[in-house]
Amino acid sequence: MNVAKSGYRVFSANSSVACTELAKKITERLGVELGKSVVFQESNRETRVDVKESVRGQTIFIIQTIPRDVNTAIMELLVMAYALKTSCAKNIIGVIPYFPYSKQCKMRKRGSIVSKLLASMLAKAGITHIITMDLHQKEIQGFFSFPVDNLRASPFLIQYIQEEIPDYRNAIIVAKSPSAAKRAQSYAERLRLGLAVIHGEAQCSESDMADGRHSPPCVRNTTGHTGLELPPGKQQAPFPGIELPIMMAKEKPPITVVGDVGGRIAIIVDDIIDDVGDFVAAAEILKERGAYKIYIMATHGLLSADAPRLIEESAIDEVVVTNTVPHEVQKLQCPKIKTVDVSMILAEAIRRIHNGESMAYLFRNITTDD
């Protein structure tokens, strides 16, 4: 395809060569060349972007994969988008397979909803549409003032299970916590397999983290007589004369596996695998309960810190992730890590958006619970 006449351009906003691999695969599928631009860091770590060709009146797709240096990647995307906006690009569409800060999408005690802030920053920089994949919470789409297409990686992971796992009919889908049960149920129903749930994990799950609703009430310092004598050891109520009921603290039960995994292949599914401690602990429990092989399937393989070493030394047989996040270095450190390519669906989304075609084909058989 002649990119000069195609009516759109595809750019990569990454300064790291390793992060441009996904962009190259997408442009190869589209039959276009990657846009000419230079993204680099100044000696003082400021991000600089130089667009080397005219984009006036064009629809621009910016592909940005997120490496370990998350904040630098975000600035690269923002600066690139603003440079294209000031160069009179018609539409600027961000292709962000892994949306950063997606775990910070709920209000915590004296915290902030960072994913909402990032959505506002992207809009301010000039982005008019986003293509992403498997948001940590689907409700994040409501933070944006422009369209968001949240693609799914599950068809590719399910295909991998069917084609690459011998005797997968003897497998069971496992949710490593009750909060992941809905995703695991979706896989189990599509593969016609059983479902197991690990309950009572030792660490606090994300839903148990303190938020503003558990903040203690303000205690007023009073010097005068209030007319109420408090028993020893009891705190002043928020209003004199009112005694609020106290919520009982949660206490997790001992770790149990709901479902029979004995003599089965256990497949743990999740959207993000970063700190692998939870997965390693889950694998040990499943081995104790009789599972003879353990696979982990996740969309985004962040695999931070010592994740490759911990996986290599664990009872996990294989970790399967997509290439939404670059992890070639981790694969060299741990041969158990396998990659599924999702550039096909990202390229098709770009083609359909540019041609004004319906996106429904990419969401066929996808329900609200997926």
Structural domain count of the chain? 2
CATH number of the domain that residue 19 is part of: 3.40.50.2020
Kindly state whether residue 220 falls inside one of the protein's structural domains: no
Are residues 159 and 281 located together in one domain of the fold?
A: yes
CA distances from 113 to 107, 140, 147, 154, 181 (A): 6, 10, 20, 27, 25
DSSP code string of 282-326: HHHHHHHTT-SEEEEEEEEE---TTHHHHHHHSS--EEEEEBTS-
Are residues 194 and 68 located together in one domain of the fold?
A: no
Kindly state whether residue 121 falls inside one of the protein's structural domains: yes
Please tell me the distance from the alpha carbon of residue 186 to that of residue 299, in angstroms, as a whole number: 14
Are residues 82 and 57 located together in one domain of the fold?
A: yes
Nearest CA to 295 among 203, 185, 158, 186? Answer: 158
Please tell me the distance from the alpha carbon of residue 282 to that of residue 311, in angstroms, as a whole number: 12
Which residue spans within 205-276 are E strands per DSSP? 256-258, 265-273
pLDDT of the residue at 232:
61
pLDDT of the residue at 179:
87
Are residues 60 and 39 located together in one domain of the fold?
A: yes
What domain range includes position 74? 8-151
Are residues 271 and 143 located together in one domain of the fold?
A: no
pLDDT of the residue at 169:
96
pLDDT tens for the chain, 370 residues: list them: 444 456 799 999 987 777 889 999 999 999 999 999 999 999 999 999 999 999 999 999 999 999 888 999 999 999 999 999 999 999 999 999 999 999 988 888 888 999 999 999 999 999 999 999 999 998 899 999 999 999 999 999 999 999 999 999 999 999 998 889 999 999 999 999 999 999 875 544 454 444 444 444 444 444 444 545 555 655 555 666 677 788 788 777 778 899 999 999 999 999 999 989 999 999 999 999 999 999 999 999 999 889 999 999 999 999 999 999 999 999 999 999 999 999 999 999 999 999 999 999 999 888 766 7
Please tell me the distance from the alpha carbon of residue 244 to that of residue 169, in angstroms, as a whole number: 54
pLDDT of the residue at 212:
47
E strand or H helix that includes residue 22: helix 21-30
Are residues 316 and 169 located together in one domain of the fold?
A: yes
Name the domain boundary from 115, 135, 151: 151
- For the stretch 289-340, pLDDT in tens is 999 999 999 999 999 889 999 999 999 999 999 999 999 999 999 999 999 9
- For the stretch 4-54, pLDDT in tens is 456 799 999 987 777 889 999 999 999 999 999 999 999 999 999 999 999
Are residues 34 and 122 located together in one domain of the fold?
A: yes
E strand or H helix that includes residue 114: helix 114-125
Are residues 145 and 171 located together in one domain of the fold?
A: no
Decide if 251 contacts 278 (C-beta within 8 A). no
Nearest CA to 308 among 338, 272, 337? Answer: 337
Are residues 191 and 325 located together in one domain of the fold?
A: yes
Are residues 85 and 170 located together in one domain of the fold?
A: no
pLDDT of the residue at 233:
57
Kindly state whether residue 224 falls inside one of the protein's structural domains: no
DSSP code string of 34-98: BPPEEEEE-TTS-EEEEE-S--TT-EEEEE----S-HHHHHHHHHHHHHHHHHTT-SEEEEEESS
pLDDT of the residue at 215:
47
